[in-house]
Amino acid sequence: MFTGSLVALITPMDLKGNVDQVSLKKLVEYHIANGTSAIVSVGTTGESATLDHNEHIDVIKRTIDYADGRINIIAGTGSNATKEAIELTNKVENIGVIGCLTVAPYYNKPTQEGMYQHFKAIAENTELPQILYNVPGRTSSDIKPETVARLSKIKNIVALKDATGDLSRVYKTRRLVGNEFKLLSGDDATFLDFMILGGDGVISVTANVAAKQVATVCKLAANNQIQEARAVNDSLLALHNNLFIEPNPTPVKWACTRLGLIDNGTIRLPMISLSESSIPAVEQALKDANLL
């Protein structure tokens, strides 16, 4: 259920900054047609930080409606306030998601015990499977492998999205959590190596524009066809890097617009549109991936 190519889906917006439902439906169809395993709705890439609660839940509900049971949907429900994370999780409990992605508390920088208690409290207030999300570059909080191991003993905490890019963690975490607990990369540039070292898949930004290729790499890696997986992934290397040339999701929204997947790359403040100086690098990356 939590393996393969999962996309960290963007939230398309119209020129006024409202959620663009037509483009959202188009994106869902694109991922169904191109072999994406699951959609993560309203995570970091989906601009969870700037959607209000009503918008947040509405985007998830509409994504489920558009999917119509043809692809699994995971809801981003994290917060640095435990009570708020529980409330968001409860709101998606009976609408058709298969699980929740819950980010490490940001800004307030809890201890390891604080993070353990945070995730434990969320898990105890829902029956939905929980995916821990560790992204220290954004949160200034780092869920250590030992804490992940403690949390993995809670029955509905079933996976980790690791966006550290530290491949040395894969083996260490796998040894601590066992084989049933799923390890997902959150770093496109290293996700293939992450899988080779024992990971189960990726929650990918690149998949927004190269869904078929990322899904193919995951399938090949899972079948231990490493040379073939590298050949496909090599064409994506520039994308893996240049989609982060400016803070995510600015470059990937521009790329989705360039490919006609959405109508425009509108993004909410304090994020701003891709700068003119960065456009050539992102466009060349799309060409390197044979997407243009």
Catalytic residue among 61, 133, 182, 253: 133
Q: Is 133 annotated in the active site?
A: yes
The answer to whether the CB of 2 falls within 8 A of the CB of 203 is no
Catalytic residue among 30, 116, 161, 219: 161
Whether residue 247 contacts residue 271, with contact meaning beta carbons closer than 8 Å, is answered with yes
Residue 155 is which amino acid? K
Cβ-based neighbours of 18, under 8 Å, separated by 6 or more:
none
3 known member of a binding site: no
Q: Which of 172, 212, 169, 173 is nearest to 187 (CA)?
A: 169
Neighbours of 268 (CB within 10 A): 13
Give the whole-angstrom CA distance, residue 103 versus residue 8: 13
Question: Is 262 annotated as a binding-site member?
Answer: no
Report the DSSP beta bridge partners of residue 76.
Answer: 101
Token couple for 255: 């790329």
Phi and psi angles of residue 188, each rounded to the nearest 5 degrees, phi first = -55, -40
Contacts of 223 (CB under 8 A, 6+ apart): none
Determine phi and psi for 252, rounding to 5 degrees.
-70, -30
Q: Are 268 and 13 in contact (CB under 8 A)?
A: yes
Per the annotation, the verdict on 171 as an active-site residue is: no
Instruction: Enumerate the known binding-site residues for pyruvate.
Output: 45, 203
Catalytic residues: 133, 161
Instruction: Enumerate the known binding-site residues.
Output: 45, 203
